[in-house]
Amino acid sequence: GVQKWALPSLRGTDSVYIIDGTFNIESSGDAIKSTNDTDTEKGFIKIDNGTFNITSSSDGIQAETKLIINNGTFKITTNGTSSTESTKAIKSGSLTQINGGTYNITSNDDGIHSNGDMYINNGNITITSQDDGIHADGYIEINGGTFNISAHEGIEATYVKINDGKINISASDDGINAGNKSNNYSVTIEINGGYIAIKMGSGDTDGIDSNGNIYINGGTVDITGQSPFDYDGEAKYTGGTIIVNGTTTNEITNLMMGGMNGGNPNMGGNPQQRR
Mean pLDDT on 42-54: 94
Q: What is the pTM of this model?
A: 0.89
Give the pLDDT of residue 41.
Answer: 78
Which residues touch 101 (CB under 8 Å, ≥6 apart)?
Answer: 69, 70, 71, 72, 73, 74, 123, 124
Is the pLDDT score of 9 beyond 80? no
pLDDT above 70 covers what percent of the chain?
A: 89
Question: 117 near 140, Cβ under 8 Å?
Answer: yes
Higher pLDDT, 36 or 77: 77
Give the pLDDT of residue 255.
Answer: 64
Bridge partners of residue 119, in order along the sequence: 97, 141
Distance CA 104, CA 90 (A): 11
pLDDT-derived band at 11 (thresholds 50, 70, 90) equals confident
Q: How far is CA 62 from CA 126, 181, 196, 216, in A?
A: 19, 20, 28, 33
Is the pLDDT score of 3 beyond 60? no
What integer best gives the mean pLDDT of the chain?
Answer: 88
pLDDT digits (tens, 9 = 90+) for 203-235: 778 999 999 999 999 999 999 998 999 999 999
Mean pLDDT on 189-216: 94
Distance CA 20, CA 62 (A): 18
